[in-house]
Amino acid sequence: MTGSDPSQFEVRPHPNPRSEAERGAILANPGFGRDFTDHMVTIRYTEGKGWHSAEVGPFGPLSLSPATAVLHYAQEIFEGMKAYHRADGRIGLFRAEENAARFQRSAERMAMPQLPTELFLGSLRALIDIDRAWVPEGEDTSLYLRPFMFASEEFLGVRPAMEFTYCVIASPAGAYFKSGPKPVSLWVSHEYTRAAPGGTGAAKCGGNYATSLRPQAEALEHGCEQVVFLDAVHRRYVDELGGMNMFFVYEKDKTVVTPPLGTILAGITRDAIFTLARDAGYEVVERLYDIDEWRADAESGDLTEAFACGTAAVITPVGVVRDKDHEFSAGTGEAGPLTKRIRQNLLDIQHGKVADPYGWTSVVD
């Protein structure tokens, strides 16, 4: 990986890091997003001065004025990626430059300054460098990295802030599915949408997640694990889940269908699946996909598999799909053969277990 020299970050080691035993207990059963490593990165931005004060310091609370702009107007963006313990013993990243580029696109949409790619990559390296003992070694485990940026100016006026804070925190992540991928059930939200044309659907911003929580709660009330959103204009074309992109597999003509970019988030997993599906002999078709088409093709058996994808859960088969009038499930309702094959292929590349012909992986040390 090319990245800025971590030495340009001032390093303030944690005076009192967790003991090896404490860390070992966490790494033995990491869960997701619950425990954090001993350190964090912060970089400041000030209008007129640019990016400055890059440091790696102890993980701990931020001190903010109650008038901090983000608390009122939600000028905030984030990324989600993983560091992997590779088969060769080194620590690897997957397409980190893509996360850097997406972070810049999200910043653009939210009237925030763009963090240069080198600084973004350097911040990951600096944190992994000091907290490398926190990268778990188990099957399908990883260190989840969460870069984020928010308006840290103390000001209540409505305009883009003039001060921002960028941070990276990291959390060891266990295998999302303990015994292989388990199908997720979906609730079709007819009442709520996540993004309209011209809105912020393509930006990875906290606000998109805030508005997904009520529909997500509705999914749970109806016995479903996740919500699937339809487009905001016609209220019939599949957008995506709260934080995962959707794919539909038609074995009879060897095609894989996925909704086009626009109001959805451009997933890096989604993009990798394009390549892996093509290499598996499937044609990838980006087109509008009607919820009625999904149901009809699931019922007729033409639709053989459906799956969702994203960094956190990698690839998740979709089981039951429900709304107030209907319930159906694609294929057998279990992980289908292409779902399993692409998932394994991706995990093996990410963990450096097989050759990476696509140049997607990089090593940190």
269 binds ligand PLP (CB under 6 A): yes
- Whole-number minimum distance, CB 123 to ligand PLP, in Å? 18
202 binds ligand PLP (CB under 6 A): no
204 binds ligand PLP (CB under 6 A): yes
Site for ligand PLP in 56-95 (CB under 6 A): 80
What does R_g of the chain's alpha carbons equal in angstroms? 21
Cα distance between residue 83 and residue 94, in whole Å = 8
CB 83 within 8 A of CB 143: yes
Please select the residue that binds ligand PLP; options are 245, 316, 345, 350, rule is CB under 6 A.
245
Please select the residue that binds ligand PLP; options are 3, 172, 259, 267, rule is CB under 6 A.
267
- Whole-number minimum distance, CB 142 to ligand PLP, in Å? 12
30 binds ligand PLP (CB under 6 A): no
Cα distance between residue 38 and residue 131, in whole Å = 7
- Whole-number minimum distance, CB 80 to ligand PLP, in Å? 5
The interface region with ligand PLP, picked from 113-121, 171-179, 236-244, 255-263 by CB under 6 A, is 236-244
Cα distance between residue 308 and residue 322, in whole Å = 16
- Whole-number minimum distance, CB 118 to ligand PLP, in Å? 20
Report residue 139 as tokens.
């099957």
CB count within 10 Å of CB 310 equals 20
CB 77 within 8 A of CB 160: no
Cα distance between residue 120 and residue 127, in whole Å = 11
215 binds ligand PLP (CB under 6 A): no
- Whole-number minimum distance, CB 222 to ligand PLP, in Å? 21
Please select the residue that binds ligand PLP; options are 93, 268, 313, 315, rule is CB under 6 A.
268
Site for ligand PLP in 302-321 (CB under 6 A): 310-311
Q: Are strands 255-258 and 283-286 parallel, antiparallel or unpaired?
A: parallel
For residue 245, how far is the Cα from the chain centroid? 10
Per-residue binding string, ligand PLP, 138-157, x by CB under 6 A, is: --------------------
265 binds ligand PLP (CB under 6 A): yes
- State the DSSP H helix or E strand holding residue 120, giving kind and residue range, or none if neither: helix 117-130
| Residue 58 dihedral angles phi and psi, to the nearest 5° | -60, 140
Q: Are strands 163-173 and 39-46 parallel, antiparallel or unpaired?
A: antiparallel
How is residue 250 annotated by DSSP? E
- Whole-number minimum distance, CB 153 to ligand PLP, in Å? 25
Report residue 43 as tokens.
């970089």
Point out which residues bind ligand PLP (CB under 6 A): 80, 204, 240, 243-245, 265, 267-270, 310-311
